[in-house]
């Protein structure tokens, strides 16, 4: 594992580089073949934080899959009232679906992001939407969030080492958290 460097403004937590999104199908494909159907991996944050892997039937081969390591407590402290990150694993493709409520009052933001990648690293879908005060804001994407810089030129939401083709689930969740944190403060 590699520790990714972060801008030095104190609001970033160091994290390790995990398995890039497009590499997850390499782990998922044997299970899709074995059970004959897609399967889901979900990590949730909130009152009942938990993770699970859901199959349509009992896999008869060992399950080796790097489940995203989302620190539920830290995400709750960051402001997420509830957050669910679901990976839909199909043959050669992974769909990341992030849904949650940021903030715990009537002005909570409703956040949804979807990023679909195949094993070749091709991005099939990338959209981030936020609803504020009941109205949808202009949609953006993980790609766009990655490009945003501060005046000093540092990445505003990403880390220095984040690269779009190699993004992992933990990095995407961290980036979106910083984005909605800023929106909420605006």
Partner 1 sequence: MSTIQPTQLDGSPIVELPLSALLQPATDIAKAAGIDTVRQVGLYRKGDSHFFFEFENHVPQGELRALFPAMELEELLAEGWEYLAVELHLSVQKVTFGLRGKYFREPVPLEFNFTLTQGPSGYVKDQISITDLRIDETENTTFKDIMEIRLKSGDPKYAGSNDVYGALPIQRIVKILNRFVRDWTVSHRIIERH
Task: Provide the binding-site residues for partner 1, judged by CB under 8 A.
Answer: 49-64, 67-69
Task: Name the residue nearer to partner 1 (CB basis): 3 or 137.
Answer: 3
Cβ-based nearer residue to partner 1, 56 or 125: 56
CA 56 to chain centre: 24
Dist. CA 145–CA 131, nearest whole Å: 17
DSSP 100-162: EEESSSTTPEEEEEEEEEETT--EEEEEEEEEETTEEPPPB-HHHHHH-B-TTS-BSSS-TT-
- Tell me how far, at minimum, the Cβ of 12 lies from partner 1, in Å: 23
Q: Which is nearer to partner 1, 57 or 124 (CB)?
A: 57
As measured in angstroms, the least distance from the Cβ of 54 to partner 1 is 5
User: Which is closer to partner 1, CB of 68 or CB of 103?
Assistant: 68
Coil vs helix vs strand at 82: strand
Q: How far is the CB of 23 from partner 1 (least distance, A)?
A: 14
C-alpha distances in Å from residue 3, one per residue of 15, 17, 21, 46, 144: 6, 6, 17, 27, 23
C-beta atoms surrounding 77 within 10 Å: 9
Q: Pairing between strand 80-90 and 93-102?
A: antiparallel
Cβ-based nearer residue to partner 1, 52 or 160: 52
- Closest approach, Cβ 27 to partner 1, in A, equals 10
Q: How far is the CB of 65 from partner 1 (least distance, A)?
A: 8
């Amino acid at each position: 594992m590699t520790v990714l460097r972060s801008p030095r403004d104190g609001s970033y937590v160091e994290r390790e580089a995990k398995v890039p999104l497009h590499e997850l199908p390499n782990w998922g494909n044997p299970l899709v073949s074995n059970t004959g159907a897609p399967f889901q991996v979900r990590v949730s944050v909130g009152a009942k934080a938990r993770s699970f892997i859901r199959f349509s039937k009992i896999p008869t081969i060992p399950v080796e899959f790097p489940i995203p390591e989302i620190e539920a407590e830290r995400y709750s402290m960051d402001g997420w009232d509830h957050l669910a990150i679901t990976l839909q694993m199909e043959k050669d493709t992974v769909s990341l679906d992030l849904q949650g409520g940021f903030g715990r009052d009537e002005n909570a933001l409703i956040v949804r992001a979807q990023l679909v990648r195949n094993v070749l690293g091709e991005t099939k879908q990338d959209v981030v939407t936020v609803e504020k005060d009941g109205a949808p804001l202009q949609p953006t994407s993980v790609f766009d969030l990655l490009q945003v810089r501060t005046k000093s030129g540092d990445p505003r939401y990403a880390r220095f080492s984040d690269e779009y083709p190699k993004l992992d689930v933990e990095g995407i969740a961290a980036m979106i958290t910083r984005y909605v944190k800023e929106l909420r403060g605006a």
